[in-house]
Structure 1
Amino acid sequence: MMIDNLPYRQVAADDLRPGGLLCVADHASNHVPEDIELGIDPALLDAHIAVDIGVEGIADRLARRHGMPAHIATVSRLVCDLHRREDDPAAVPSESDGTLIPGNIGANVEARLDRFHRPYHAALAELIARAQPRLILALHSFTPKMATSDEQRPWEVALLYNQDDRAARHAIRLFGEQGLNVGDNQPYSGKQLNATMDRHAEAQGIPYCTVEIRQDQIGTAAGQARWATLLADVMGRVALEV
């Protein structure tokens, strides 16, 4: 839900400790404002095409229990995908994983960007300037398989990166030491899908980890608590290495 009509909320961000860790969750919400009609079955708002399942609970726990301030989206990626460049047609998607989004066909893209995308990223930039983070964690989740494919995804967690892989390399090793099957730019490649970190981390030389967690790992509160603890530990260790 949006508070004060803002496309984001920030947790534990009022009393920042410069040089710490910061969490960003671009796809944490399935909220659709009342004045926007997507034209889809409402049940789809609980599916991965609308929200990164499990991410909001982890980001909240990282901020409230592990001292990692969080910048969390409060609007569905189907309304405006905050993890896309403004010039990407998928910023206001007309389809997702084989599902047509008829309400977005012919939508006023500029109005959506002005209402959701631009204030989200302006606030994130301001938070980063205040926090001066040593490491940014960009948190996402992925399905065990895509709706358009029968191929199972074996990775329990994955690290995505574009040009700057220095933090990702440490995280891949540390998650592997936990006995996890770790994807290296899988199931998506950060060479193509890394817009938020390209803009706010790589462009400023800030180390980051774009972490994708398989959704069956974090569909429950217990799973989210487990992964919040694991992420706090691994990201803290990565921050000491970069």
Structure 2
Amino acid sequence: MSRVADIPTSMLISAVYDGPKRKAALKFYNGKTHQLETYHDETGHLPYCYSRLSPQEIREQPGLDDRDDIKEILPTKIRDNLADGEVEVSKIVVTDPLAIGGTQSGRSIRDHIQTWESDIKYYENYLYDKRLVMGRYYSVSGGNISEESLPIPEAVRAALKSLLLDRETGKGMPDPDEYQRYVTEWAETLNQPIPQIRRISFDIEVDSEKNRIPDPHLAERRVT
């Protein structure tokens, strides 16, 4: 698996958090070379969560004062769908996702105060913020990611056009245009060409006791 700066048109198939590098890492599959190529974030994106407390109130909380893993606390506004409007919150930006949550040490921010978006895995948060979709094609040039939508089959395109032109389809909908937009986006995503991905599988046989299935977490039985 290679790590390169520029990546030709390839399918995004995975996202992870690279702990040693402290960066989100995206994995692209190049259908021509049959290689996985990894892109590490070059935009300076950092983990974050939100709190209803003010920046000053957060800094005064026991366990959150004098923390070197909290990079900054910014007052901002986000949309609250339940309140159907914007609310003022504090955006807590950190250097490591574990500063927000995921440890048993009691040092996580969400262990000290009520937070929002603190249960989202960091790599998922990264995908949302960058508007990246698994299964779609992208290219990377100079550290910048660009979407490369490939054409969908003509039969699918014709069926989609027929569906969207059918007056009965949008009948009774509060926003037919929004419906058509989402249907088009999903149709294009789900009908992107699937590359020939190389696969390998292992079948491991182990000794077992009568009427008992071996526990893979313990792995205490002999491999045969």
TM-score (norm 1): 0.21
Kindly indicate which of the two structures has a greater share of residues assigned to helix.
1
Kindly indicate which of the two structures has a greater share of residues assigned to strand.
2
TM-score (norm 2): 0.22
* Higher RCO (CA-CA < 8 Å; seq separation 6+): 1
Q: From the CA coordinates, give the structure whose radius of gyration is larger.
A: 2
